[in-house]
Amino acid sequence: MPSTCIVDSGVLVALLDPREEHHLWARETLSRQPLPWFTCESALSEALFLLHEPHLRALDQLLRERHLRLALNLAEELLQVLDLRAKYASVPMSLADACLVRMSETLPDPLVVTTDADFRIYRRHSRQVIPCLMP
């Protein structure tokens, strides 16, 4: 059974901007993951802030073609997301990271693709290591 690929903002930026340090890694890694890939609004917002044209248009195209989909309703998951942020306040945990961890708890067979080493610290369902791919 294929994994549900959850992508962080850093991976999206690395994938779309060839000047990024992890561009080749992101391109090769994501090419092996089944479509669609999933993210949250917070990670998407971070990626949109970090990218510039023409890479912004490439991100828009991923969304329009539904290769990249939003898979967390923050209004419905807010308490769990805030609990995660409180639990990992010493890291500290961003809103996007908390949303991605929560997605790893709610989506089947999750695999988080990230450039963020904090995902080695975070746990899903309090104790389970989050399956991740990192450079």
**Over the chain (135 residues), what is each successive 10-residue block's mean pLDDT?**
89 98 98 97 97 95 98 96 96 96 97 97 95 96
pLDDT of residue 3: 87
- Output phi, psi for 124, to 5 deg: -95, 145
Residue count of the chain: 135
Q: Which two tokens stand for residue 96?
A: 């996007």
SS3 category, 38: strand
Q: Which residues contact 63 (CB under 8 A, 6 or more apart)?
A: 44, 69
Helix, strand, coil share (%) of the chain residues, nearest 5: 50, 15, 35
pLDDT of residue 89: 95
pLDDT of residue 2: 67
pLDDT of residue 47: 97
Rounded CA-CA distance 100/60 in Å is 20
DSSP strand pairing (128-129 vs 123-124): antiparallel
Q: Tokens 């991923």 sit at which residue? A: 62
Q: Which domains does the chain have, with CATH numbers?
A: 4-133 (3.40.50.1010)
